[in-house]
């Protein structure tokens, strides 16, 4: 008779399930499989859209806007005065950026973007919003205790640095223009764009090192 080791079986069960996708991911995959089997969608089309939003429509566009502002003072002035028009110059104007305001970080000011009511986000230049941006905890605490939230992201600010919290809505969304990193004077616009992160354009990152890439 074969011995039955309950602890060993439980361990195997946990191991197997630890490699499975999350329940939402499984539901999405099941739905995608069903739609593909019925011939309603093309899997290559889905892959192309995911890649477009994560690589092209995503943060790379916002990074290009920031890098242009860093390297072209006239463009920066236009961006701060009329963000939709300046973004349209680069061909990036979309539904989520038609009512956009750009706020600039400085040595004395740090800006943080949140959407307290839902999760309004300039996805046409920042891509898909991160899960934490949509979480109730971030939406509530970013307004009540922004310094505490920033500290959890590794952003430590001096007492003299003013924190400004901007609450996005469906009618008005915000993009942070981070400070240009020191030591980046000789970098090209593409190299500058490689220093810009999605979090820095939301405000949950502040110091961008000139040695960073990607």
* Residue 162 β-bridge partners: 109
Which of 120, 124, 184, 200 is flagged as catalytic? 120
Look at the block and give the residue holding tokens 């939003």.
53
Which of 115, 124, 168, 184 is flagged as catalytic? 115
Which of 54, 106, 118, 188 is flagged as catalytic? 118
In the chain, the DSSP E strands lie at 100-104, 109-114, 162-167, 173-177
How far, in Å, CA of 126 to CA of 199, rounded? 10
Q: Is 168 a catalytic residue?
A: no
Kindly report each contact of residues 188-195 with a partner whose C-beta sits within 8 Å and lies 24 or more positions away, as own/partner. Answer: 189/64, 189/67, 189/68, 189/71, 190/67, 192/66, 192/67, 192/70, 192/71, 193/60, 193/63, 193/64, 193/66, 193/67, 194/63, 195/67
Q: Is 118 a catalytic residue?
A: yes
Q: Is 119 a catalytic residue?
A: yes
Which of 71, 119, 124, 168 is flagged as catalytic? 119
Enzyme catalytic residues: 115, 118-120
């Amino acid at each position: 008779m074969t011995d039955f080791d309950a602890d060993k079986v439980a361990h195997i069960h946990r191991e197997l399930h630890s490699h499975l996708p999350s329940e939402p991911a499984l539901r999405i995959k099941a739905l995608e499989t069903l739609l593909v089997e019925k011939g309603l969608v093309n899997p290559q089309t889905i892959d192309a859209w995911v890649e477009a939003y994560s690589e092209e429509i995503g943060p790379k566009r916002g990074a290009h806007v920031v890098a242009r502002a860093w390297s072209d003072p006239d463009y920066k002035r236009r961006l701060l005065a009329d963000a939709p028009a300046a973004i349209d110059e680069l061909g990036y104007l979309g539904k989520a950026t038609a009512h956009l305001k750009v706020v600039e970080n400085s040595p004395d000011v740090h800006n943080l973007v949140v959407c307290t009511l839902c999760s309004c986000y300039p996805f046409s230049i920042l891509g898909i919003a991160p899960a934490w941006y949509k979480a109730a905890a971030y939406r509530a605490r970013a307004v009540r205790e922004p310094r505490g939230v920033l500290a959890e992201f590794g952003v430590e600010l001096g007492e003299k640095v003013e924190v400004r919290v901007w609450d996005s809505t469906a009618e008005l969304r915000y993009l942070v223009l981070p400070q240009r990193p020191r030591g980046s004077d000789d970098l090209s616009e593409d190299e500058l764009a490689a220093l810009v992160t999605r979090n820095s354009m939301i405000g949950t990152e502040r110091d961008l090192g000139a040695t960073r890439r990607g």
